[in-house]
Structure 1
């Protein structure tokens, strides 16, 4: 079983059940547990019914080291990339997807010991990467995992768990403060965060100004105001980024088996006809014409 399943009832789906693979290690420091996992092609869903049936008052702090994962909680989608921390409150429904191979460290801390409200954790969740403590905690977890075999048997094991708890608490408080004070950030910083969020969720057809604003803890009106001051036409920029991604995808020989409609979908366009119109307007030719021209040029 995967690390989260060790403490939270959930549905687990293997994309290739005929060849299930996984490797897990665990160390306990007082009330805190550290996992190191390597998993392949896995999806996990914890529903509201699971939470009601089997409460799990635990916060999981996940650090991806290889591969990537998609985490959905509180209505937000967070992408776990190497070097990025993602928190999961196991007492709140969530969905996780690990496509391909993913290696991660997971620190599990009892919610009670953090002494933080559920709202504080919710505010902190999307803001961890911009906390000044983020990289400190990342480095701490890596060093802890590398030394866990020696440390777990030492006399200070329980005290080390307490230190982990306080470090995670400080990280969440720092990130939550960033979330609540986001409207006070300079426009350039906020726009940078908006752009990064858009690029991380570019292929999601559900991406919209309302969701972008919610992820930044600002109103849609304020989002448009900041974009206006930065001379950024949000919707047009998103479409332009999706078109550029589609143009690159169409030029890849290994994508030759994909239909134009399929490429439109994986680049975030719901309607293939709309995609074709926008592509022609941007590049002066239809997607099929672009693909043909590029592949003809690259042919020997």
Structure 2
């Protein structure tokens, strides 16, 4: 990890050195302090694979990335750690509070006005890793993504973990697919167009639908999406708000029912194979592994012990 502090430079050259460091890190970003003679700031930065992470603390100033700046083909993600900031991007205006997130495309000009002392965690992602996700991310670039959103909180926690990894000795040597993971988390932060219009459903409606189809072997996120008339991303966000995923939710529900039936004497004449197939498990080997991971024993041992109770 590398660091830079304005206080380490002679007063006459502080702003020039600050802008040199800022420009190198954030695609030709330049700062204009409200009080140049009283300006102070600190930077720290590091890298995990292709992801650059940096923290920036500064006193009130205007930071801008002009149209004449040279883009580096990156997406810039900023998490507001403390203080407040005003964002201008493509004619949009946003006010960031602590915990909020904003995304910038470095190919477009933008401006960030720090309203007093403020600190940010900034992460850059190569556009090349985003693929089809770039279309959705570009739609919300410059918009405030609120820190109250569980998806934003999850993304921020992952970004903070990358930042701490930058400070470790192995930060530049690990192989964790950081860019791919972070871009996937960012996708969950993007508001779904259906969230405020036709096609929106709530958790209760989704549960009612699943109750009728939970043990259907053909149940999938694509089928749920098609039958309910909502996007797959909207469904994934509903599950994420409950701390789970569609696949995990379905698996846990099926395993719970498997345990209930194996302990119920009315199902004693049914074989474990029949029960597994009836609950939507098309692969008995997979069912066996999942059951043992959940209950700590095989299905046959579980049934035997329950019969002794």
Provide TM-score, normalisation by structure 2: 0.51
| Partner Cα distance (2:158, 2:96) in 1 | 18
Q: Secondary structure at the match of 2:27?
A: coil
Structure (1 or 2) with the greater helix fraction: 1
Aligned to 1:166: 180
| Partner Cα distance (1:171, 1:147) in 2 | 18
Pairing partner for 2:198 from 169, 173, 184: 184
Q: Secondary structure at the match of 2:116?
A: strand
Q: Secondary structure at the match of 2:98?
A: coil
| Partner Cα distance (1:100, 1:128) in 2 | 21
Aligned length: 181
CA shift, 1:48, in A, is: 2.2
| Partner Cα distance (1:187, 1:117) in 2 | 23
Pairing partner for 1:14 from 12, 27, 33: 33
Q: What aligned pairs does 1:27-106 form with structure 2 within 5 A after superposition?
A: 27-50=46-69, 54-106=70-122
CA shift, 1:12, in A, is: 2.5
Alpha-carbon contact 1:128-1:171 (below 8 Å) kept = no
| Partner Cα distance (1:187, 1:113) in 2 | 31
List gaps (5 residues or longer) in structure 1: 189-300
Q: What aligned pairs does 1:80-229 form with structure 2 within 5 A after superposition?
A: 80-116=96-132, 119-125=135-141, 126=143, 128-129=145-146, 132-150=150-168, 152-153=170-171, 155-156=173-174, 159-160=175-176, 162-163=177-178, 165-176=179-190, 178-179=192-193, 182-184=196-198
| Partner Cα distance (2:140, 2:194) in 1 | 9
Q: Deviations over 1:245-278 (max 9, x none)?
A: xxxxxxxxxxxxxxxxxxxxxxxxxxxxxxxxxx
| Partner Cα distance (1:10, 1:144) in 2 | 22
CA shift, 1:8, in A, is: 1.7
Alpha-carbon contact 1:123-1:175 (below 8 Å) kept = no
Larger Rg: 2
Q: Secondary structure at the match of 1:13?
A: strand
Provide TM-score, normalisation by structure 1: 0.53
List gaps (5 residues or longer) in structure 2: 1-17, 203-309
CA shift, 1:38, in A, is: 0.9
| Partner Cα distance (1:154, 1:170) in 2 | 21
Alpha-carbon contact 2:56-2:121 (below 8 Å) kept = yes
| Partner Cα distance (2:182, 2:94) in 1 | 18
Q: What aligned pairs does 1:254-273 form with structure 2 within 5 A after superposition?
A: none
| Structure 1 residues 28 and 84, CA gap change in structure 2 (3 angstroms) | same
Q: Secondary structure at the match of 1:115?
A: coil
Alpha-carbon contact 1:127-1:175 (below 8 Å) kept = no
Q: Secondary structure at the match of 1:150?
A: coil
Aligned to 1:238: none
Alpha-carbon contact 2:127-2:134 (below 8 Å) kept = no
| Structure 1 residues 63 and 97, CA gap change in structure 2 (3 angstroms) | same
CA shift, 1:133, in A, is: 2.3
